[in-house]
Amino acid sequence: MTHQVLVGFHAVTARLRHASGSIKDIYVEEARRDRRMQSFIEQAQNAGCKVHPVGQQRLDGLAKGQRHQGVVALVEGLELAMDVDEVLDDAQGPAFLLVLDGVTDPHNLGACLRTADGAGVHAVVAPRDRAVGLNATVQRVACGAADTVPYLTVTNLARTLRALKERGVWVVGTDDEATETIHQVDARQPIAWVMGAEGEGMRRLTRETCDQLVRIPMQGSVESLNVSVASAVCLYETVRQRN
């Protein structure tokens, strides 16, 4: 079985909390003896995980250039959901999805997953050919959200959006040129927010498949927000309306 690499205190601690049984080995910097490291080692050992003190050079090799803070874990991948239908079948309450069309920066994906977890999103969906995988950077930035929010990559995004619409999900795309704003969306119904890549935005076919196009009201001089920030604004508009 191929193992994933998690780096840093946040990502590894989150996996300890959610699925400690999926952790094969934990490597820690043998020279670090501070309180944070000692507390982490105790937590890992209490969870039944094997902890190996090693030199920094070994950690650097395992982390492959990622900032590891003296903590690296080899873990099994978690299969949170097989497909969108499974997510919709298991969803508690109206469907709540985030669709990322062309977001390839791992820092942005990690931040989007973290926000999606906080807002209670049922799944994040992305096209397989225009998306970054759940690599070590994504896992670190997501601070554990990659272990709790299903991240589904699909072969044909437009087809997936049409399938969502057939199941009663309102598909809302964000577009800087739209006339309506996010506050004119009825987010209490089953909804999928579609965010495009920075600069390019959504692809044409994705845009044409949406039920509604809206923009985030901008009061200052900048034209748009970072995709992870824009996602947070839209997702929490849904949370506001539903609460």
Same domain, 147 and 90: yes
**Average pLDDT value for the chain:** 90
Are residues 105 and 165 located together in one domain of the fold? yes
- Boundary-marking domain end, from 75, 103, 124: 75
Mean pLDDT for 128-148 is 82
**What is the pLDDT, as a whole number, of residue 2?**
57
* Region for residue 236 given its phi and psi (left: phi exceeds 0; alpha: psi -120 to 50; beta: otherwise): alpha
Q: Are residues 21 and 123 in the same domain?
A: no
Do 135 and 46 belong together in one domain? no
pLDDT, mean of residues 118-133: 90
Tell me the C-alpha distance between 173 and 23, whole Å: 38
Give the residue numbers of the binding site.
Answer: 196, 216, 225
Rounded Cα distance, 116 and 114, in Å? 5
* CATH, residue 59: 3.30.1330.30
pLDDT in tens, 62-74: 988 888 899 999 9
Note down the domain range covering 188: 84-242
> Which residues are annotated binding-site positions for S-adenosyl-L-methionine?
196, 216, 225
Percent of the chain with pLDDT over 90: 64
Residues 128 and 211 both lie in one domain: yes
Whether residues 174 and 109 fall in one domain: yes
Residues belonging to the chain: 243
Total-model pTM: 0.77
Instruction: Verify that 153 and 66 share a domain, yes or no.
Output: no
- From 75, 95, 129, give the residue that closes a domain: 75
In a shared domain, residues 113 and 231: yes
Of 55, 75, 95, at which residue does a domain stop? 75
Query: Domain total for the chain?
Result: 2
Same domain, 211 and 229: yes
**121 and 224 part of one domain:** yes
